[in-house]
Amino acid sequence: MKPIRKAVFPVGGLGTRFLPATKALPKEMLPVVDKPLIEYAVEEARAAGIEEFVFVTSRGKTAIQNHFDSHLELEYALREKGRDSELSAITNAVGAPGQFAYVRQMEPLGLGHAVWTARNFIGNEPFAVLLADDLISGEPGALSEMSEVHNEYGGNVIALMEVAPAETARYGVVAPGTDDGRVVEVLDLVEKPDPAEAPSNLAIVGRYILQPEVLDFLALGETGAGGEIQLTDSMARLIGGAPFSGVRISGTRYDCGTKIGFLEANVAFALERDDLGGDIFARLEQVLESHRPDA
């Protein structure tokens, strides 16, 4: 089985849900505690063995490029002051020269179009796609779990989670076949179905391991839900060729594309940290107590 070496990060979205914060700042640079969302996704990819990273960007996203570049002046200043932990916090993100590439999507035509825009970088090998909005906690990372399944079954692998049946219209949804509780055979995929038409309540989380043939279908440029070129529709056309598996991820997924999910992630990740000082749990309890609606 060929190991997965390349990952695509679609980061072209406008982030309108987070205005005014995202007027001049890419939404992927919003911090969860003190690290930008996109860095969590890059770390998860690195932990799964990814060596080459391509970002599908748009106008106004240069802060992402700067974040993964070296910053010699800042590094020098931190080194001079002996601020070792801050120094490693900024150098950890930086890749080797040539490891990070950026392509412009040019037109906001959908997730499928964003992935297709990266085709020359992907070439003819299986690749991963990570949506930074879906922040996933837990060890091992979701992409590592999927990589294990890919090693075993080959083909295409997507991350899954169960959602409330009423919420299917927000996700790509799977028609499941055999299911061992962890790995689910994928018989069909539908993007954003109404609850009445959804084949299950197993939804796609923004992590994918895909065979390069998906690019041939994406190249057709056919539009689907919301008038966009959907990745899900081209993935559905792969079913029946190579194996197609879903993996129920063991970590918790936070929908950082919404304000409430982003807030939840900040609280959860802060509670996991032991370097924030003070009793953060008690402080958050105080905040909740003083804001109780019936107080």
* Lookup: tokens for 74: 């800042």
Residues forming beta bridges with residue 100, ordered by sequence position: 53
- How near is the Cβ of 214 to ligand G1P at its closest, in Å? 13
Nearer to ligand G1P by Cβ, of 204 and 209: the residue is 204
- How near is the Cβ of 87 to ligand G1P at its closest, in Å? 34
- How near is the Cβ of 57 to ligand G1P at its closest, in Å? 16
Strand 127-130, strand 6-10: pairing: parallel
Give kind and range of the element (H or E) at residue 116: helix 111-117
Phi/psi at 190 (nearest 5 deg)? Answer: -130, 130
Query: CA-based Rg of the chain, rounded to a whole angstrom?
Result: 20
Within 10 A of 184 (CB to CB), how many other CB atoms are there? 22
- How near is the Cβ of 77 to ligand G1P at its closest, in Å? 38
Cβ-closest residue to ligand G1P? Answer: 172
* Lookup: tokens for 51: 């060596």
Nearer to ligand G1P by Cβ, of 11 and 54: the residue is 11
Q: Which residues contact 154 (CB under 8 A, 6 or more apart)?
A: 1, 242, 243
* Lookup: tokens for 288: 């909740």
Nearer to ligand G1P by Cβ, of 4 and 131: the residue is 131
Nearer to ligand G1P by Cβ, of 12 and 206: the residue is 206
- How near is the Cβ of 272 to ligand G1P at its closest, in Å? 22
Q: Which residues contact 35 (CB under 8 A, 6 or more apart)?
A: none
Contact 207, 219 (CB under 8 A): no
Residues forming beta bridges with residue 129, ordered by sequence position: 8, 208
Cα 212 to Cα 124: distance, rounded to the nearest angstrom: 6
* Lookup: tokens for 161: 């989670």
Nearer to ligand G1P by Cβ, of 50 and 231: the residue is 231
- How near is the Cβ of 293 to ligand G1P at its closest, in Å? 30
Nearer to ligand G1P by Cβ, of 55 and 171: the residue is 171
Nearer to ligand G1P by Cβ, of 78 and 239: the residue is 239
Residues that bind ligand G1P (CB under 6 A): 111, 131, 134, 171-172, 191, 203-206, 230-232, 257
- How near is the Cβ of 194 to ligand G1P at its closest, in Å? 15
